[in-house]
Structure 1
Amino acid sequence: MKKYLGLFITILIVSCNQQKEDKELIGKITSNKNFKEVKNRALDVVKTGFNAGDGYGEVWIRDYNTFIELSAEVFDSKELEENLLVFFRLQGKDGNIIDGFIPKEKAIETEEGYKFICNDLEPNYCGHKNTVETDHETSLIQAVYKYIKKTGHHNFLNTQVGNLTVAKRMEKAMEFLMSHRWSDKFGLIYGATTADWGDVQHSHPWGVYITEDTHYCVDIYDNAMLLIALDNMMELVPETQLKWGTIRKNIAKNTMNVLWDEKNQKFIPHVYLEKSPYPDDFNENEIYYHGGTAIAIEAGLLTKKQIKVSLDKMIANVKASGAGSIGLTMYPPYPDWAFENKGMYPYGYQNGGDWTWFGGRMIQELIENGFEKEAYEQLLPMTDRVVKNDGFFEWYTVKNKPEGSGTFRGSAGVLYKAITMLEEWVESQK
């Protein structure tokens, strides 16, 4: 009897302590003035358009996917639908989805620039495709899912684009990945060698197009994005579950079998279809990918214990590097010789730059998985620097200096959602 009484008392004490901690956290969240300021600023930024930020002319699907929900707060749904439809109208015959689109009159080709894609279905815009990345198809399906969940406009799936509905074109996009980006060897989709979620390959001065020097590999980001997209598609279009349910299950299994390093409790950066482009004395697996890990959590690949270990590693990486937040792309970064693109120097751009665009998504996943206290603590550096630097900057240096577009809508979108999720948690505690 004494044994059970002691256990009951212990549980009671733990419960009381948790209630006290929750109460303190609720107070911090509700009194944080920067949270309200950042949300207001995010709304103001997204009101001004759909391109990625003031440094870009295009509407990019990988960006639009992360702020379409915020756009729904300030734009008529038909405008949001029109952007989605442009991507579907410019879809390739093989099912591929463009990276971004721009007004036709601005689609001027240069010898070193993008090659534009136009067709009769889309009279106003032309697109282009960064072929080294494998997330355009999955980003579009996720964006459609978020739009429908936000607006309730499920009938959008029946919209006719050419001779196919949106729903059919979504499935065709998935079939493109299975036909043109599928590795039978690993049972996963592949892409070029990039830095985590980045869209710049290692073997070209610009690095956005597949070339004869491209080294193909499988990675966690692309495959986690595919898992999320398949979940979204099967929920929106239940009849696709029969075909894609088993495929999804196998991809999830293969992802962990091939890419998860159980000993080091991390994802292997790249597993190459053939040979690594890097010298034998370079241990690429020392690099920890923050962004891909966050997306893997969103895809449901990691347990709660693994999520906590992942967060602890990210925090340790921030401390070791001196970076400002867990938006740190990776740690350590690739050496300066690893990428031909001069912007991909150590801690530059996608090679160890600090991106709220992905850090904010890690915050969302912490909240989703019951780590509200940790989410609050790791969110503070991101919201504080928005106010301090008067903008949603594209990325930050390891010394926390803002770089790139100051109106990066992807950053605004993920921060707005993260703060809203914390506020919803507060409401759930009442």
Structure 2
Amino acid sequence: MDLYSTVLAMTNETLVASFVAGDSYPDVWIRDLNTFITMASGANPQTDVRNALNGFFDRQNATSGEVPDGYRPNPNATSPNEPPPLQWPSCTGDTPDACKNNVETDQESSLVSATRQYVDYFDDIGFLAEHITQLELALNFLANYRTTDTYNNLIWGGTTFDWGDCQAEDEVQDCRILEPASHRAIDVYDNAMYALALQDLIYLESLLNRDSSIYQLLHDDLRSDVRKYLWNDDTQKFTNHLYLEEQAFDPSFDEDLVYYHGGTTIAMLAGFLTNDEVAASYQRMKDNVKLAGGEVTVGLTMYPPYPSDLTTKMMGEYTYQNGGDWAWFGGRTVSALAKLKFCDEAREALQPMLERVVVNNGFYEWWGKDNTPNGSSTFHGSAGVLGLAIQDVNDNC
């Protein structure tokens, strides 16, 4: 059995009968489910996949449209009764039902995109018709609660490490929750996820013969705003954080010397970059891998990492979201390259990620600079995106 077939078989085995994020997580997370639902659909009964999604629809705020991060799949638990926006508890691992790390702004987008994948896989138009209004409401939440007049359609969150869900500042009491010490900021990851969700909603509306012109206009304006406010032609990279008030770090530190891999990858998938810019971005990622030393891949969250004396003490340099190496995003880099017909580059990027899955017999959450595995050994997001990356290479190359 070749490497691709071996890892695909491991992916299917890992995703059977569980929709939590991994073996160390008790909750189902929507940002994770969105990245493995297609592969999980091939490994589980349709009813189980549908129920995993319904866990979020059942807990969505019916007034604001806000979606939780995760929920505990406990049949004895009760759902919150119409929680007001931003009032779910943080996801500490001991909350009895729904929770949300509201410094991140990808939950509503993730639910829309996960639903599109489910509908595509099972052709379940009835499920779509039942939930289409909730999907619209989810994206309306972002427009109503996470935009500002200053930057038009761009959505904001807390100051996190690229796509991370933990604030970078050490002075916040709970790094997962917005509070007075937080620094609100706009980044490309959240907005690329939003754009992908708008694309998915437009497609889903077409399946029901519904008018999606308002969402098409919003998508086009969002794309324009990303290029206007976040893309820097001089440095050929996205601005890390466009702050709404004061910045999070000492002004002597030039934050834009840090290059975000994950947000750039999602921007590729969202169509924010030209083919020439995609090629240059991937070359920058390859250069960063060499500069980082060790045995990292393009799944590196960023390079260089934020200096330890400027950030939360829980994330030193090259650890977790501050410079850890995540196949959860590296696999999506491969998918973006394959879909855009950068086939040699896609295969090159994919190979070391698959090799270490086999060598270590598991889909670990993240990898250290010295190629040591960390976190859950059955991280479903890693399994899902690597499985999709293999399929995308096979289908497009």
**TM-score, structure 1 length as denominator?**
0.85
C-alpha distance in 1 between matches for 2:396 and 2:58: 39
In structure 1, the residue matched to 2:64 is: 94
Question: How big is the alpha-carbon RMSD for the aligned residues of Structure 1 and Structure 2?
Answer: 1.9
8 Å contact from structure 1 (residues 68, 147) kept in 2: yes
Question: Residue 199 in 1 paired to residue 165 in 2?
Answer: yes
AA paired with 1:59? V
Specify which of 298, 319, 338 is matched with residue 367 of structure 1: 338
Question: Which of 259, 266, 269 in structure 2 is aligned with 1:298?
Answer: 269
* Aligned with residue 208 of structure 1, among 160, 176, 189: 176
Partner Cα separation in structure 2 for residue 289 and residue 259 of structure 1? 13
> Partners of 2:91 and 2:122 in 1: how far apart?
34
Structure 2 Cα separation of the partners of residues 174 and 240 of structure 1: 16
Amino acid at match of 1:102: R
C-alpha separation in 1, matches of 2:125 and 2:229 = 36
Gap runs ≥5 in structure 1:
1-31, 119-124, 160-165
Q: For the Cα contact (< 8 Å) 1:193–1:202, is it kept in 2? A: yes
How many residue pairs are counted as aligned between the two chains?
378
- TM-superposed CA distance for 1:76, in Å, is 1.3
Q: 2:364 aligns with which of 379, 393, 396?
A: 393
**Counterpart pick for 2:307 among 335, 339, 342:** 335
User: How far did 1:304 drift?
Assistant: 0.6
- The one-letter amino acid paired with 1:251 is L
CA shift digits 1:162-182 (9 cap, x unpaired): xxxx10000001111111111
For 1:338 and 1:294, the matched residues in 2 are separated by 25
Larger Rg: 1
Where do 1:219-298 residues align within 5 Å? 219-238=187-206, 239-298=210-269
Residue 338 of structure 1: how far off its partner (Å): 2.8
Return 5+ residue gaps in structure 2 as ranges: 79-88
Q: Do the aligned partners of 2:90 and 2:101 also contact (CA within 8 Å) in 1?
A: no
Q: Secondary structure at the match of 1:173?
A: helix
Deviation at 1:300, TM superposition (A): 0.5
1:392·1:407 contact (CA, 8 Å) conserved in 2? yes
Equivalent residue, structure 2, for 1:403: 374
Aligned partners of 1:133 and 1:192 also within 8 Å: yes
Q: Decide which structure has greater strand share.
A: 1
* Among 89, 106, 114, the residue aligned to 1:143: 114
Cross-structure match for 1:17: none
Which secondary structure state, in structure 1, belongs to the residue aligned with residue 98 of structure 2?
A: strand
> Identity of aligned pairs, percent?
38
**Counterpart amino acid of residue 189 in structure 1:** I
**CA shift digits 1:197-247 (9 cap, x unpaired):** 000012325411111101001100000000000010011113342222111
Distance 2:73 2:9 in 1: 29
2:326 equivalent in structure 1: 355
Give the direction of change, closer, same or farther, for the CA distance of 1:115–1:315 in structure 2 (3 Å limit): closer
- Identify if the C-alpha distance between structure 1 residues 67 and 114 changes in structure 2 by more than 3 Å, giving closer, same or farther: closer
Q: Distance in 2 between matches of 1:321 and 1:205?
A: 31
Q: 1:114 Cα deviation (Å)? A: 4.3
CA distance in 1, matches of 2:92, 2:125: 34
Contact 2:265-2:332 at 8 Å conserved across structures: yes
CA apart distance, 1:406:
0.3
Q: How does 1:147-158 map to 2 (within 5 A)?
A: 147-158=118-129
What SS does structure 1 have at the residue aligned with 2:24?
Answer: coil
Is the 1:116–1:128 contact (alpha carbons within 8 Å) kept by the matching residues of 2? no
Partner of 2:396, secondary structure, is helix
User: Is the Cα–Cα contact under 8 Å of residues 17 and 44 in structure 2 kept in the other structure?
Assistant: no
**1:325–1:382 contact (8 Å) kept in structure 2:** yes
Secondary structure of the residue that 2:72 maps to in structure 1? strand
Q: Does 1:315 align with 2:315?
A: no
- Mapped partners of 2:300, 2:93: distance in 1: 32
Determine whether 1:74 maps to 2:43. Answer: yes
